[in-house]
Amino acid sequence: MPQLLLLSNSVSPGQDFLEHALDQISQLVPAVSRVLFVPYASADPDRYTAVMSTALAPISVQVDAAHTVTNPTAALAAADAIFIGGGNTFRLLSALHATGLLAAVREQVGAGMPYLGASAGSNVACPTIRTTNDMPIVQPVSFDALGLVPFQINPHYVDADPASTHQGETRPRRIAEFLELNDVPVLGLREGSWLRVSGSLASVGGTAGGVLFARDVDQREIPPGTDVSELLAVRPRFDCPA
């Protein structure tokens, strides 16, 4: 039974790193558990690991870093849970492919290992990373990701500001362009929000909720506490023009 916590962000205004989600994290990762932390999305994995260790110390969780071991797939097998951190999604996915962790994580999570992701770590839980906000600073061998959920997530979702003078595309417009060529729902998670999956159940939690986009359907507001379990049954279709 899959157990997932997919965070939009790691830091909420006025709070320490992961402070806003510690209660949720402790439900998936009990005290004295060992978490394999994957900091591949960051250019400074040592510092990122130190920050993560400090953040999880109040709930007595031990953090082991994937980038410090010679065999990260073996380290994953020995862990109680996995946490994939944020940063650049393209850098992260490229490293997951290169280390063999992509297939290993998919297998372990399918067997019941809890999966926690933030930002880029939530992006790679989807079938593809095509709904990331990041610049492609490196070219992965494929955009295919873990596919732990059958729909797409857009972390750090920002509502369009009608008073803005910015001439670039708004986030809703970018997602609409994605849907022109791909038939799969996109859940935009605002800052401070997350998706919690437990087996066949899924819900949006946190403080700000999100917005659900789908082809040929008006976007729908998703308040905190909304059950979105129906999304776990969708069948994504990519590269299929409307």
In a domain, 155, yes or no: yes
**Number of folded domains in the chain?**
1
Q: What is the pLDDT of residue 169?
A: 86
Q: Would residue 241 count as lying in a domain?
A: no
User: Which of these is catalytic: 8, 94, 119, 122?
Assistant: 119
Q: Is the pLDDT of residue 129 over 80?
A: yes
Q: For the residues 32-39, what does the mean pLDDT come to?
A: 96
- Do residues 193 and 224 lie in contact, with contact meaning Cβ atoms separated by under 8 Å? yes
* Interval 55-107: pLDDT, tens: 999 999 999 999 999 999 999 999 999 999 999 999 999 999 999 999 999 99
67 is an active site residue = no
pLDDT at 205 over 90: yes
- E strand or H helix at 175, and its extent? helix 171-181
The answer, yes or no, to whether residue 209 has pLDDT greater than 90, is yes
- Tokens representing residue 110 in the block: 């399918």
pLDDT digits (tens, 9 = 90+) for 221-241: 999 999 999 999 999 999 999
In CATH, what number is assigned to the domain containing residue 20?
Answer: 3.40.50.880
Question: Is 238 within the bounds of a domain?
Answer: no
Q: Report the mean per-residue pLDDT for the chain.
A: 96
Q: Tell me: the pLDDT tens digits for 153-170?
A: 999 999 877 777 777 789
Alpha-carbon distance values, 171 to 18, 161, 211, 223, 230 (Å) = 24, 10, 11, 18, 24
**Percentage of residues in the chain having pLDDT higher than 70:** 100
Residue 138 lies in a domain: yes
Position 240 in a domain? no
Q: Within a domain: residue 161?
A: yes
Q: Are strands 186-189 and 152-154 parallel, antiparallel or unpaired?
A: parallel
Q: Is the pLDDT of residue 242 over 90?
A: no
Q: Residue 239: inside a domain, yes or no?
A: no
Burial class (CB in 10 A: 0-12, 13-18, 19+), 50: middle
Q: What is the pLDDT of residues 39-51, one digit of tens each?
A: 999 999 999 999 9
Q: Which domain holds residue 38?
A: 3-233
Which residue is catalytic, options 156, 198, 203, 229?
156
* Within-domain flag for 177: yes
Of the candidates 200, 175, 134, the one whose C-alpha atom is nearest the C-alpha of residue 2 is 200
Residue 162 is predicted with a pLDDT of 78
Q: Look at the block and give the residue holding tokens 């905190």.
A: 224
